[in-house]
A and B are shown apart, each in its own frame.
Chain A
Amino acid sequence: MKLLFFHLMPYSDLPDDFREKHPSVWVDIDSGLFDPRKAHAMYNDFLDELEFAAESGFDGICVNEHHSNGYGLMPSPNLMASSLARRTRDAAICVMGNSLALYNPPTRVAEEMAMLDCISGGRLIAGFPVGTPMDTCYAYGQNPSTLRARYYEAHDLIMRAWKEPEPFTFNGRYNKQRYVNVWPRPIQQPHPPVWIPGGGSVETWQWCARMDYVYTYLSYFGYKQGEATVKGFWEEMDRLGKDRNPFRAGFLQFVGVADTHDEAMALYREPAEYFYGRCLHLDGRFLMPPGYTTEATIRARVQSQLAQAANQTAAVSAGPARSFEGIVDQGYVIVGSPDEVAERLREVATNLNVGQLMLLLQFGNMGKELCFHNTELFTKKVMPQLTDLFEDEWENHWWPAPMPRDERVAPREVVR
């Protein structure tokens, strides 16, 4: 199986009373809380962490896109990816991804991703999310009623831009471009592997199946809550007559490894509570713009709510856990000794049938030293217990095909 190191780049200096004094980590977060000089250190630490993960043996490293967000300092993941493309040799560079409707024209995505593929020697994974309501509709002012149609059209434009050998005219509903001619072109032909992060809607599963893309479920709430969604995905693949190749699916999981279980419980408490307490302090104002959710999905959700209300035994949701005990009990973060973590992850990957496992080993306000420790233990002691999974049975058709290693150039050493 493939193991990827995922980074959110959370601002690590939100105040202790953040929940009490501030309405939200996202959209209207107080800009007075941002100290650019501290961010200088954070960005460089985060890039060090991603580079270290690549050097340590992770198959891929992932960046992502958020706007006006205190737990995601990457409005432009492509900037981060370009730095990583230069400073890493073999790891896949997974841009997870560009929210396509936010780029005008979307040709920009085709261009920048082609640049990344060239710089990295063909190591790019192209992630295409719709983007959250907070990022797209509120922070970026996109109309929620046209967002999905714009997303699909932008996708069509980008794929055509990569595939067509001649300049062409794109006369779309939302995008009109007389001369589309992406220069540079991607190394990976006809295009880099495409991965789609989704939130569990049936339409997205069907679209991934039709397009033969990887579907990734990027939840912050771990394998227990994610199980129903990922199983729903596989049931839909069965219904559509697709094989159960585990490399069709990606899943995100927080992990904290230490020499012993008790030590892990001590080490990862603070960063986990920081993440689930401060970073996920969201405001209900920005969650449900009209038209963002399709009518079919609303119908399904309302019906399941009515069914739950009718079911006396259904547990009343008290909101996500914020104490470390709750966070661990509910599986948001898997913590423990290397053997414990390996056993649990093997079980999760097998049970969910997921071949592209994305791991968050830095979370909340975790410092670089602890992140390195977590990464080192993971790559030395956990990873060897996992990598064989699925490899004999299935072929990963959705992994980058870079240029041969001896044909790829290495950047010159930095003169200090």
Chain B
Amino acid sequence: MSAGAEPAERQVEVNGLPCRVWEKGPQDAAPIGYLAGLVGLPRWTPFLDLLAQERRVVAPSLPGFPGATGHEQLDTLLDWVHATLELLEAAGLRGADLMGVSVGGTLAAEVAATAPDAVRKLVLLAPFGLFDEQEPVTDIWAQRPGAAAALFCSDVEKIQALLAVPEGEDPVEWQILQARASEAAARILWPTTDTGLAKRLHRIRCDTLLVWGSADAIVPASTAKRIAAGLSGKATVRSIAGAGHLADLDAPEAVSEAVRAFLG
């Protein structure tokens, strides 16, 4: 899957528990933090490879997502925001550019609102956090067995490839890993209504890129404009034609181009 070398791996601690940090890219390049979406990062992705051509990509695992545990300690959104800040600091990302996808985007936005100096430039790809009754966020946890995966990407093979059991892995433990990621995301988002982010958007003062798959079947693409309107910093909206919720899986080239153009 990855072009060239695998990412370097190290462990940092959040609330006393280890979290995996994957890193790849030129050592002298400026870092960009990457907080993954709903399923976390069960493996490295083509998008991250593209990003790592010019930037040092640092992808720490949030508690409960593949590579990390500790979600059971976190009860409130404040707990999660502090855990994310601790994770970013431990990974050497405080003050760096930050990209967050889906549920990772929710926490990236909260961190930027809570600690404006912690983020240089912010990229949000289809974050959860707002809710419109006229155009509600899809309840991904109320789907018939097997139906949820098709919502994540326009090209279902992309999400299947991300989640496929790697050779030599225990299939039972691999399934547990995914169940845990789903639980961690639900712990933050359940019952998938708003998280209160709208009240705090004006605290985000950094330049922000909002990227959205035009065919996002989970968080409506129209959310991008509503978030942009609430931010205090300069906001740019980029739609990725045909891409689904995890647009960086569906369209790695287009999303990496958008991110590169924004970060300069």
How far, in angstroms, from A188 to B171 measured CA to CA in the complex?
Answer: 51
Which A-chain residue is minimally distant from B173 (CB atoms)? Answer: A299
**A290-B75 in contact given A284-B144, A302-B172, A306-B172 (Cβ < 8 Å):** no
In the complex the two chains form, is B144's CB within 8 Å of A290's CB? no
In the complex the two chains form, is A290's CB within 8 Å of B186's CB? yes
Interface membership of A146, Cβ < 8 A: yes
Interface membership of B238, Cβ < 8 A: no
* Least CB distance, B160 to chain A, in whole angstroms: 18
Please name all residues of chain A whose beta carbon is closer than 8 Å to the beta carbon of B171 when the two chains form the complex: 302, 306
In the complex the two chains form, is A137's CB within 8 Å of B143's CB? no
Other-chain contact of A146, B75, B144, B175, B180 (Cβ < 8 Å) = B75
Please name all residues of chain B whose beta carbon is closer than 8 Å to the beta carbon of A173 when the two chains form the complex: 75
In the complex the two chains form, is B143's CB within 8 Å of A285's CB? yes
* Least CB distance, A263 to chain B, in whole angstroms: 41
How far, in angstroms, from A285 to B142 measured CA to CA in the complex?
Answer: 4
Interface membership of A289, Cβ < 8 A: yes
Which B-chain residue is minimally distant from A149 (CB atoms)? Answer: B72
Which B-chain residue is minimally distant from A173 (CB atoms)? Answer: B75
In the complex the two chains form, is A289's CB within 8 Å of B144's CB? no
Please name all residues of chain A whose beta carbon is closer than 8 Å to the beta carbon of B191 when the two chains form the complex: 137, 141, 143
As a 0/1 sequence over residues 265 to 284 of chain A, the CB contacts with chain B under 8 angstroms (1 = contact) are: 00000000000000000011
Please name all residues of chain B whose beta carbon is closer than 8 Å to the beta carbon of A303 when the two chains form the complex: 172
Interface membership of B58, Cβ < 8 A: no
Which A-chain residue is minimally distant from B177 (CB atoms)? Answer: A295
Interface membership of A291, Cβ < 8 A: yes
Which A-chain residue is minimally distant from B143 (CB atoms)? Answer: A285
**A144-B186 in contact given A285-B142, A290-B179 (Cβ < 8 Å):** yes
How far, in angstroms, from A283 to B75 measured CA to CA in the complex?
Answer: 29
Please name all residues of chain B whose beta carbon is closer than 8 Å to the beta carbon of A286 when the two chains form the complex: 142
A154-182 with Cβ < 8 A to chain B: 173-174
Interface membership of A151, Cβ < 8 A: no
Interface membership of B183, Cβ < 8 A: yes
In the complex the two chains form, is B190's CB within 8 Å of A145's CB? yes
**A291-B75 in contact given A284-B145, A286-B142 (Cβ < 8 Å):** no
* Least CB distance, A105 to chain B, in whole angstroms: 16
In the complex the two chains form, is B190's CB within 8 Å of A137's CB? yes
* Least CB distance, B171 to chain A, in whole angstroms: 7
In the complex the two chains form, is B141's CB within 8 Å of A290's CB? yes
Please name all residues of chain A whose beta carbon is closer than 8 Å to the beta carbon of B190 when the two chains form the complex: 137, 141, 143-145, 289
Which B-chain residue is minimally distant from A23 (CB atoms)? Answer: B144
Please name all residues of chain A whose beta carbon is closer than 8 Å to the beta carbon of B184 when the two chains form the complex: 145
How far, in angstroms, from A303 to B179 measured CA to CA in the complex?
Answer: 15
Please name all residues of chain B whose beta carbon is closer than 8 Å to the beta carbon of A137 when the two chains form the complex: 190-191
Please name all residues of chain B whose beta carbon is closer than 8 Å to the beta carbon of A145 when the two chains form the complex: 71-72, 183-184, 186-187, 190
How far, in angstroms, from A213 to B75 measured CA to CA in the complex?
Answer: 29
How far, in angstroms, from A286 to B180 measured CA to CA in the complex?
Answer: 18
Interface membership of A298, Cβ < 8 A: yes
B147-203 with Cβ < 8 A to chain A: 171-172, 175-176, 179-180, 182-187, 190-191
As a 0/1 sequence over residues 133 to 146 of chain A, the CB contacts with chain B under 8 angstroms (1 = contact) are: 00001100101111
In the complex the two chains form, is B187's CB within 8 Å of A288's CB? no
How far, in angstroms, from A60 to B183 measured CA to CA in the complex?
Answer: 39
In the complex the two chains form, is B175's CB within 8 Å of A298's CB? yes
Please name all residues of chain B whose beta carbon is closer than 8 Å to the beta carbon of A149 when the two chains form the complex: 72
In the complex the two chains form, is B183's CB within 8 Å of A290's CB? yes
Which A-chain residue is minimally distant from B184 (CB atoms)? Answer: A145
In the complex the two chains form, is A285's CB within 8 Å of B144's CB? yes
In the complex the two chains form, is B180's CB within 8 Å of A295's CB? yes
* Least CB distance, A149 to chain B, in whole angstroms: 8
How far, in angstroms, from A145 to B183 measured CA to CA in the complex?
Answer: 6
In the complex the two chains form, is A146's CB within 8 Å of B172's CB? no
As a 0/1 sequence over residues 297 to 326 of chain A, the CB contacts with chain B under 8 angstroms (1 = contact) are: 011001100100000000000000000000
**A143-B187 in contact given A283-B144, A284-B145, A285-B143 (Cβ < 8 Å):** yes
How far, in angstroms, from A145 to B74 measured CA to CA in the complex?
Answer: 10
Which A-chain residue is minimally distant from B193 (CB atoms)? Answer: A141
Sample (18) of A-B pairs whose CB atoms are under 8 Å apart:
A137-B190, A137-B191, A143-B187, A143-B191, A145-B71, A145-B72, A283-B144, A285-B143, A285-B144, A289-B190, A290-B179, A290-B183, A291-B187, A295-B179, A295-B180, A298-B179, A299-B176, A303-B172
Interface, chain B (partner A; CB < 8 A): 71-72, 75, 141-145, 171-172, 175-176, 179-180, 182-187, 190-191
**Can you name 16 extra interface pairs (CB under 8 A) apart from A145-B186, A149-B72, A289-B190?**
A143-B187, A144-B141, A144-B183, A144-B186, A145-B72, A145-B183, A173-B75, A174-B75, A284-B144, A286-B142, A290-B179, A290-B183, A299-B172, A302-B175, A302-B176, A303-B172
